[in-house]
Amino acid sequence: MTRLEQYLRSARNRAFVGRAAEMAAFRAALAGGEVFTVLYLHGAGGTGKTTLLRRYAVEAERANRQVVRVDYEPGDMAAGLLTAVPPTPAGSAGPVLLVDGFERWQPLEPWLRDEFLPGLPVGSVVVLAARTPPAVEWTADPGWNAVLRVQEVGALSAGEAKVLLDRNAVPRQRQPLLLDLAGGNPLALRLGVEEVASGKDDDSVRLAVAQAVLRQVVGDLPSAAHRHALEVCAHAETTTEKLLRATVADGDTVQLFRWLCELPYAECGPSGVRVETFVRNAVRTELKWRDPIRHDAVLARLEQDTALAAPMRVESLPRPEFDQAVRDALRSWRRPDLLATNPLVHSRMVAAAEPQADPVDAVRTVLKSTLDDLGEDPRQLKSHRALIATYLGGAPTQEAAAERLALPFSTYRRHLNRGLEVLCSLLWRRESHGVDLT
């Protein structure tokens, strides 16, 4: 081993933190006496899979095992792999084959699974490291299922992340920033370490880490619609197909949602999909820097969607205040700004009738449906006409409304007052007893 190689290995050993479960699984494979073992590591970019493979190589060499390390390169990888694995001497344990970037081997997976790997000697240990979980052809096959060990490589714990920062001499007062940015992702932590060491302030560190994460982990996206979907997912607590329909103007929301679920740095659960903390922070920071107007628009649209989806706040009014609110709402029929502040917005009858509607539209719907019910009562036809002419018909004054109805003003006023009295009673019944009169 050259002196430089010794130095590099020593530095990597000092920087290695955590991963007790992953190391235990590999050591068990080396010493377990299994006929054959395939250890499949998967996790988002930057979680340390390549670092783990280096540690595995050291462990295997200490056990006097033949180590073959392979990464994907354009060209005839099948021929290269056959050349890379030399014959195993008689009486020796099979080789330890470490394959990095396995998600790029997809065209060769059938050949690897069906021809190459079954031809390796007894006792071989194979480690496949990929950003994505194993395909169903691995897990559904009874033969492979017996020898396959799947291990997800996730974030470091908070304690492990702090140890990493301490080993890299990050000042204690700067550590909370990096712990928050990285969410335990080793790559994001190390990027932050480098930026802090260069003397950058907090905002510059955030941006530098964000740009590096987007470049190295997220990469190029298929379209503008995919980028918008990821931006929404990064800002929302959880993302559903319904949320994408409301916030992404272009693109097939079904396909976009499936695409989000399949991202290696995304987590899918019963309430929807969310991206890991380090990607979430990177997307938010870079968008705010690159396009502040779009950043604010995404936040505004999400806040609007959340407000519509949230349960409506219901407030009870005493009868006199309730009647006054009805009269004010009728006077404000053509003023949505005033209707939005009317107490009826938070009434029980409005919440029950249109729970997901715009509050102004919901108030109008309840008033109009009750007015229609009033008009179906032959005894209240004159009162109904007075109400419609005065409030919904656009008459500029009560005198003009009386003129349209061809009524003396005193007669018009009597019909109008009677109509208001009956309308308020019907609405109060609907409010206090939950009776829908429509």
Mean pLDDT of 170-195: 94
* Rg of the chain, C-alpha, whole Å: 34
Distance between CA atoms of residues 352 and 363, nearest Å: 11
For residue 9, the model assigns a pLDDT of 66
Q: Out of 118, 152, 186, pick the residue that ends a domain.
A: 152
pLDDT greater at residue 305 or residue 143: 143
Tell me the C-alpha distance between 263 and 30, whole Å: 32
Residue 198 lies in a domain: yes
Out of 33-37, 100-104, 150-154, 369-373, least confident range: 33-37
Q: Show Cβ contacts of residue 57 under 8 Å, excluding neighbours closer than 6 positions.
A: 67, 69, 96, 98
**80 and 44 within one domain:** yes
Q: Residue 1: is it exposed, middle or buried by C-beta count within 10 angstroms (0-12/13-18/19+)?
A: exposed
Tell me how far apart the alpha carbons of residues 192 and 178 are, in angstroms, rounded to a whole number: 6
- 277 and 368 together in one domain: no
Whether 260 is in a domain gets the answer: yes
Instruction: Report the DSSP beta bridge partners of residue 97.
Output: 68, 126
Q: Of 7-16, 101-110, 294-303, 347-356, where does mean pLDDT reach its minimum?
A: 7-16
Average pLDDT estimate for 99-106: 86
Q: Is the pTM of this model over 0.75?
A: no
Residue (of 285, 65, 100, 291) closest to 181 by Cα position: 285
| Structural tokens at position 275 | 């991206």
CATH number for the domain spanning 136: value is 3.40.50.300
Eight-state DSSP code of residue 87: P
> Do 344 and 351 form a contact (C-beta atoms < 8 A)?
no
Residue that wins the pLDDT comparison between 3 and 62? 62
Q: Is the pLDDT of residue 104 over 80?
A: yes
**Non-local CB neighbours of 275 within 8 Å, separated by 6+ positions:** 230, 233, 234, 260, 263, 265, 266, 267, 283
pLDDT over 50 at 435, yes or no: no
| 378 in a structural domain | yes
pLDDT of residue 175: 94
Residue listed under structure tokens 């219901």 = 314
Percentage of residues in the chain having pLDDT higher than 70: 88
Residue 23 inside a domain? The answer is yes
| pLDDT of 308 over the 70 cut | no
Select the more confidently predicted residue: 312 or 98.
98
Tell me: do 417 and 376 sit in the same domain.
yes
How confident is the model at residue 359, as a pLDDT?
80
45/407 Cα distance (integer angstroms)? 79
Same domain, 130 and 167: no
Pick from 171-175, 179-183, 293-297, 354-358: least confident: 354-358
Domain that holds residue 291: 220-310
Res. 332: pLDDT tops 50: yes
Average pLDDT for 15-40: 81
Same domain, 14 and 90: yes
Domain assignment present for 338 = yes
Residues 173-204 as b/e (b if ≥16 CB within 10 A, e otherwise) read: ebbebbbebbbbbbbbbbbbbebbeeebeeee
Domain boundary among 100, 132, 152: 152
Count of domains observed in the chain: 4
| In-domain check, residue 330 | yes
As given in the structure block, the two tokens for residue 47 are 């979680």
Model pLDDT, residue 436: 45
- Where is the domain boundary, 310, 341, 359? 310
Instruction: Say whether both 146 and 165 belong to one domain.
Output: no
* Mean residue pLDDT across the chain: 86
> For position 395, what pLDDT does the model report?
85
Under the banding of pLDDT at 50, 70 and 90, the label for residue 18 is: confident
Q: Coil, strand or helix: which one is 66?
A: coil
Given a contact cutoff of 8 angstroms between Cβ atoms, the answer to whether 314 and 348 are in contact is yes
- Among the listed ranges 15-29, 232-246, 278-292, 418-432, which one has the minimum average pLDDT value? 15-29
Residues 9 and 145 in one domain: yes
* pLDDT value, residue 437: 42
Q: Is residue 113 part of a domain?
A: yes
Query: Among residues 33, 39, 29, 36, which one has the least CA distance to residue 120?
Result: 36
In-domain check, residue 438:
no
Residues 13 and 128 in one domain: yes
Residue 363 burial (C-beta neighbours within 10 Å; 0-12, 13-18, 19+) = buried
Q: Note whether 104 and 224 are same-domain residues.
A: no
Mean pLDDT of all residues in 300-320: 77
Q: What is the pLDDT of residues 61-94, one digit of tens each?
A: 888 888 888 876 666 666 667 777 767 666 667 7
What is the secondary structure of 267-307 as a DSSP string?
Answer: EEETTEEEE-HHHHHHHHHHHHHH-HHHHHHHHHHHHHHHH
Residue 212's pLDDT band, with cuts at 50, 70 and 90, is very high
Per-residue pLDDT at 250: 81
Q: Distance between terminal CA atoms of the chain?
A: 87
Q: Both 50 and 90 in a single domain?
A: yes
- pLDDT at position 438 is 40
pLDDT of 340 strictly over 90: no
CB 344 within 8 A of CB 315: no
Q: How far apart are CA 410 and CA 336, in angstroms?
A: 31
Q: Are residues 114 and 20 in the same domain?
A: yes
Amino acid at 326: V
Query: Are the beta carbons of 142 and 112 closer than 8 angstroms?
Result: no
Q: In terms of domains, do 353 and 392 share one?
A: yes
Is the pLDDT at 161 greater than 60, yes or no?
Answer: yes
Query: Hey, is 347 helix, strand or coil?
Result: coil
Within 23-92, strands assigned E span: 37-42, 67-71
Tell me which of 32-46, 137-151, 255-269, 329-343 is least confident.
Answer: 32-46
pLDDT tens, residue by residue, 29-67: 888 766 568 899 999 888 889 989 999 998 998 888 888
